[in-house]
Amino acid sequence: MTAIEEAIRSCVPGRVRVRHEALKNLAAGEIEALRQTISAVDGVQSVRVNPRTGSLLLYWDVRKISDEELLGLAQWLLAGLRAPAVQRPCERSQQERRLDALARMLVPGVSNIKRARRMAKNRVMLGLGAASVASLAFSRRLHGVLGWAFALMTALHANDHRRVL
């Protein structure tokens, strides 16, 4: 079995869906170039690429292109795309290790590091908000700085949770 046949998720005459790691996280220019290259083939009716899932959906006229020709074209195109480098879970950057250590310090009782990071962010945001309000009694400048830090953390939080907001 060739690599392209392993990547095919569904295939009926005139329609094929391919999922491949090389299609994930493509830039807009790469998607457009891929779309134009495939659309230039006589008989191809429609090409859709979803870089989030690494999916390519292709419709073609079965009277103009045979299944074998289409598979050959797809194999050639996927060979030209490079698969993204996969980072192993044990390969963490120094900055990530420092953030993990800070999260464990702020949330000592939680063993799941992802949950600890999330709880640490929430605690920092809560602390900045409280400190900003409390600093009103001391200094307007300190209140402004802490307020901006709180606003930044709130914006980051909203960005992290934009799908559920």
The band of 101, judged by pLDDT with boundaries at 50, 70 and 90, is: confident
pLDDT above 70 coverage of the chain, percent: 87
- pLDDT tens, 138-148? 888 898 888 88
What are residue 15's phi and psi, to 5 degrees? -150, 135
Rounded mean pLDDT of the chain?
Answer: 81
On whether the CB atoms of residues 106 and 98 are closer than 8 A, the answer is: no
Q: Which CATH number fits domain 3-80: 3.30.1360.40, 3.40.50.2300, 3.30.1300.10, 3.90.930.12?
A: 3.30.1360.40
> Could you give the residue ranges of the DSSP H alpha helices within the chain?
3-7, 28-39, 67-80, 94-106, 113-134, 140-160
This prediction has a pTM of 0.47
Query: With 50 as the cut, is the pLDDT of residue 60 above it?
Result: yes
On whether the CB atoms of residues 58 and 38 are closer than 8 A, the answer is: yes
